[in-house]
Amino acid sequence: MGHTRKSATPGTPPGMTRKESFKHGLLHEVKKFILFTFYFWIWFYAINLYTSALLEANGMAQALPAYTFLFIALKAAIIAKFLITAELVFPMGLKKKYPLIFSLLAHSLVYLAVVLLLSVLEKGMEGLVHHKGFINSMLAFEHADPKLIAIIAFIYWLIILHCLVYAAVEYNIGGKQIRKIMLEKS
């Protein structure tokens, strides 16, 4: 029989063998990856729909091509994977001497930088598809307008912060307790 140990994965029952704990932790991370990917995809797709509607309202009709759906899904999956990996490698200091908000803000700003970088790369890939050039398309991200870049950065930051708050709450009270609070009658 394998050794038992206390697991760092939220919701892992105590007394599991290493193999059982690994399987449970892996399943937990896969579920979180799927949930976060879907969460980010919904937000990024909504932003793209809104942008498309604004362009159309201003006489610059732009249909959302099929590859946009693919780019959004890919970006959402990459960001979800990055967020989960970063959470494992650099966990938020939940039991340190500083309030949780400082850790949430610091992590959210780092994640925001990654999301913005991926968004700029996405624009470069879109430029390649339209034969406009990778670099030129990246440089035209949000029309190279600092105001537009700040607005989209703020929106992305709000999206990311919500995920981090959820992860911190899940870590502190557990997934089962969250589901009980959210889904059961009070």
Q: Is 52 helix (H, G, I), strand (E, B) or coil?
A: helix
The mean of the pLDDT values for the chain is 82
Q: Which pLDDT belongs to residue 151?
A: 93
Predicted confidence at residue 18, as pLDDT, reads: 85
pLDDT attached to residue 164: 86
b vs e for 38-59, b when ≥16 Cβ sit within 10 Å of the residue's Cβ? ebbbebbbebbeeebeeeeeee
pLDDT on residue 40: 92
pLDDT digits (tens, 9 = 90+) for 159-178: 999 888 888 888 778 878 88
Say whether 4 sits in a helix, a strand or coil.
strand
Question: Residues of the chain whose pLDDT is less than 70?
Answer: 1-13, 61-67, 93-96, 186
Q: What is the pLDDT of residue 2?
A: 44
pTM summary value? 0.73
